[in-house]
Structure 1
Amino acid sequence: MTAAAPPLAARIPGSKSITNRALLLAAAATGTSRLRAPLTSDDTLAFRTALTDLGVPVETGPQDGQWRVTGIGGGPSGGATIRCADAGTAARFLPPFAATGRGRYLFDGSDQLRARPLRPLADALTRLGARVSAGGSGGLPLRVDADGLRGGELTVDGRHSSQFLSGLLMAAPLLRTPLTVTVRDLVSRPYVDMTIALMRRFGASVTEVDPGVIGIGTGGYTATDLAVEPDASTASYVFAAAAVTGRAVTVPGLGRDSLQGDLGFVEVLRTAGARVEVGPDATTVTGTGRLRGGFEVDMGGISDTFMTLAAIAPLADAPITIRGIAHARLKESDRIEAVAGNLAACGVAVETRQDRITVHPGGVRPTRIRCHRDHRIAMAFSVLGLRAPGLELDDPACVTKTFPGFHAELRRLFPAR
């Protein structure tokens, strides 16, 4: 009997979510922080550039793969015009940081980013004492006239995006007095847990007083050194590819102590029949040659990976329903309709409701995939393309938002037979 081939080690870049949060916390800290193996992509470079425009020195080391951030010990001063490009985290995290400082700050971005909502964040900042003016649709361009923020008590509606809450939480240690935040109907809770864990790494005092009630003390942040984990959302594509090709893939550096909730995607693949091993320092997924359907799963907490499952669902042996994802309609694209439209173009039967999608098994015909300038649509359907020849992306380069080397890495791990 021939021994099974050892799993291939995937080269997954650093987490965007961790990189941009750590950049902000390091910028607000006292001292110089080192970020090891940060993600270098369109979104993180836009975020890094925005910080330098806010007066935060960031030194990059091409030889050692580190970014050194010299914190300014609080909010910025002097005012600036900030281009967020397509980076939603920049538009949601940086205005609260700027509001803790002094000066007039104007935030703007691409047409795609202008279409994404910011009103809940603008309203929360106003209640904390900032003067904020949002664009006509309640989003960018956003002007913040900053003179510091007070603390106190704040209620936040978390139905649309956890990024609003994360931005407010990260600014809270820079407020004049402690802040208590009560959150209603929070989506993507794992991302808030990540934010809190990183705030604590940088020395902040954060306590969950009651479920959904978070208390944050003043006192700012202290510089620290941080190794950035591989991106769990990005890893979902190679894990799914292993599941549908019958191969084995390991992602080193992404283990059971990960800060990223999206690693939970491998448990969905386990439900779908893949073999999964989550170790202390790595995660391995092995395909079994069969993708099992016939289940329903709530992916609201890991919604950045729902498209990965939906794209491969036509290969399953029974329908798969994904629910709890209404907030995914407010991302780079209406991701539910983008996935459904592309699957329908492939000849796959799909049903959608406001917060869910059901994908039926069936043959996949060749077609041109509309990416909607959304990196996750492009990467998810690239995985389906490993088993369904003839799929062509209309915008393959949009993956540079989070993983510039995605297509080359997928070809390396899963060469055409």
Structure 2
Amino acid sequence: MTTWQPPVTALTARIPGSKSITNRALLLAAVARGTTGIRAPLVSDDTLAFRTALTTLGVTVRSAPDDRCWEVTGTGRGPTGPARVWCADAGTAARFLPPFAATGQGEFVFDGSAQLRARPQRPLAEALARLGAAVRPAPEDGPPLHFDTTGLDGGRLVLDSSMSSQYLSGLLMAAPLMRAPLTVDVHHLVSRPYLDMTLALMRHFGADVTEGPHGRITVRPGGCAPADLVVEPDASTASYVFAAAAVTGRAVTVPGLGTRSVQGDLRFVEALRRAGAHVEVGETATTVAGTGPLRGGFDIDMGDISDTFMTLAAIAPLADAPVTVRGVAHARLKESDRVAAVAENLRACGITCEEGPDRLTVHPGTPRPARIACHRDHRIAMAFSVLGLAVPGTLTLDDPHCVAKTFPGFHAELHRLFPEHPLPPGGPR
């Protein structure tokens, strides 16, 4: 019996830089004293909103004409208010930047779009108040977040991170500018790989951070140091081209994503392996190839890689048995209620599915023509674009350009790799 081998001519995907790495690097470069070069940053709605928000706080950011490098000059101290910071739709800006601002002096207001205002902010507001900022209560759970500050004291926090790991990451990245060490006891953490990414990047920038038993993390004051960085391709975004390979029987390679990646979402390829795809993760690249009809009949916890659960759920109707995704309750608090949105769209395609508070079960079926409700959520649009490859011409998106949040060139790149993917009206943008 011979071992199956992927096609020799794998398609090479051009995946833009990681949003998560880009925005963490922007903030840590701002915390540092000196100039950092961030090479191959993601240039998208979210990262541009984050960059603009930093400049509103007085941080100098210069970009090369082709945006291949952003130079960030930090002062080694917190910003000076008053400042009103617009975060647009960017949850990372609304959760990473307030702790940084609170290490400075003055009055700050962080606000954003209606979509952002619907996302919870209370755990962060309560943490800032415990650390010494005078936080004014918001009318709802989300932004605007309004506070006065004379710096943050540091100390010990117990932080519930069951809704998002972003509150914790924001506090930790600002901690080098606090007056005393910050120790956080982390309870009910979701998306652990994103915390690991934060800690790895903090160490890259010279922060003094240690991990103790029982989820305790300590960061000591002393600032950060400038540290140039090359941003690796976005693993969450790569999930769409990997899934596309699996459902079309072709092979796709993503250079720059391999065993040394700091992104947990690369583990999505293991879900594709369970579904029958051929997967090779090398040191500097990852390849996925379709081997035939997808296999189902499995139950998978995707809590740590929840940004990719929609990719698997969207293609699950093509499997030969039901697929259940678990551990994704916190995905209901993202740009949309992602569990409900995926279920709604699958049902519109004639697919049977059942949802629970933290799970979704998808049954096999042949998708019928449908208009996909994107809910202004880039990941809904991209995930269902992959399902559309298996049934060309049957699915349309009601908001194809919402992909600009993280991948403005998504439709053009998917069309280049898989010509059956239609370009949206008005061009790929």
Query: What range is the shorter-chain TM-score in?
Result: over 0.9
Name the structure 2 match of 1:376. Answer: 379
- Selected match of 1:352 from 352, 355, 362: 355
Cα distance per residue 1:181-227 (max 9 Å; x no partner): 00000000000000000000000011111131101111011001000
- For the pair 1:394 / 2:379, whether they are aligned, the reply is no
After superposition, the Cα gap between the structure-2 partners of 1:22 and 1:229, relative to the gap in structure 1 and judged at 3 Å, is same
TM-score (norm 2): 0.96
Contact 1:134 1:140 in 2 (8 A): no
Mapped partners of 2:163, 2:6: distance in 1: 49
Mapped partners of 2:137, 2:52: distance in 1: 22
Mapped partners of 2:214, 2:304: distance in 1: 16
- For the pair 1:253 / 2:260, whether they are aligned, the reply is no
Counterpart secondary structure, 2:336: coil
- For the pair 1:88 / 2:80, whether they are aligned, the reply is no
Alignment of 1:239-318 (within 5 A): 239-318=242-321
Name the structure 2 match of 1:226. Answer: 229
Contact 2:43 2:67 in 1 (8 A): no
Q: Which runs of 4+ in 1 moved over 2 A?
A: 2-5
Name the structure 2 match of 1:414. Answer: 418
Cα distance per residue 1:326-361 (max 9 Å; x no partner): 000000000000000000000000000000000000
Name the structure 2 match of 1:188. Answer: 191
Alignment of 1:14-413 (within 5 A): 14-63=17-66, 65-389=68-392, 390-413=394-417
Instruction: Could you tell me which runs of 5 or more consecutive residues in structure 1 were left unpaired when the two chains were aligned.
Output: none
Mapped partners of 2:96, 2:7: distance in 1: 46
- Selected match of 1:13 from 16, 23, 26: 16
The amino acid that maps onto 1:60 is S
The amino acid that maps onto 1:352 is E
Name the structure 1 match of 2:424. Answer: none
Mapped partners of 1:82, 1:158: distance in 2: 24
The Cα shift of 1:232 comes to 0.3
The amino acid that maps onto 2:412 is A
Counterpart secondary structure, 2:212: strand
Contact 2:240 2:382 in 1 (8 A): yes
The Cα shift of 1:416 comes to 2.1
Counterpart secondary structure, 2:294: coil
The amino acid that maps onto 1:291 is L
Mapped partners of 2:6, 2:101: distance in 1: 58
Aligned residue pairs total: 416
Mapped partners of 1:101, 1:64: distance in 2: 29
Contact 1:98 1:144 in 2 (8 A): no
After superposition, the Cα gap between the structure-2 partners of 1:207 and 1:353, relative to the gap in structure 1 and judged at 3 Å, is same
Mapped partners of 2:76, 2:154: distance in 1: 18
| % identical aligned pairs | 71
Mapped partners of 2:138, 2:21: distance in 1: 28
Counterpart secondary structure, 1:307: helix
Contact 1:95 1:144 in 2 (8 A): no
Counterpart secondary structure, 1:161: coil
Mapped partners of 1:133, 1:229: distance in 2: 38
Contact 1:203 1:221 in 2 (8 A): yes
Counterpart secondary structure, 2:206: coil
Contact 1:134 1:141 in 2 (8 A): no
Cα distance per residue 1:111-138 (max 9 Å; x no partner): 0000100000000110101111242112
TM-score (norm 1): 0.98
The amino acid that maps onto 1:288 is T
Contact 2:183 2:217 in 1 (8 A): yes
Instruction: Could you tell me which runs of 5 or more consecutive residues in structure 2 were left unpaired when the two chains were aligned.
Output: 422-429
The amino acid that maps onto 2:351 is V
Mapped partners of 1:291, 1:357: distance in 2: 18
The amino acid that maps onto 1:294 is G
Root-mean-square deviation (CA), in Å?
1.2
Mapped partners of 2:204, 2:53: distance in 1: 23
Cα distance per residue 1:46-77 (max 9 Å; x no partner): 00000001000000002471000011212101
The Cα shift of 1:144 comes to 1.8
Mapped partners of 2:50, 2:185: distance in 1: 28
Counterpart secondary structure, 1:222: coil
Counterpart secondary structure, 1:31: strand
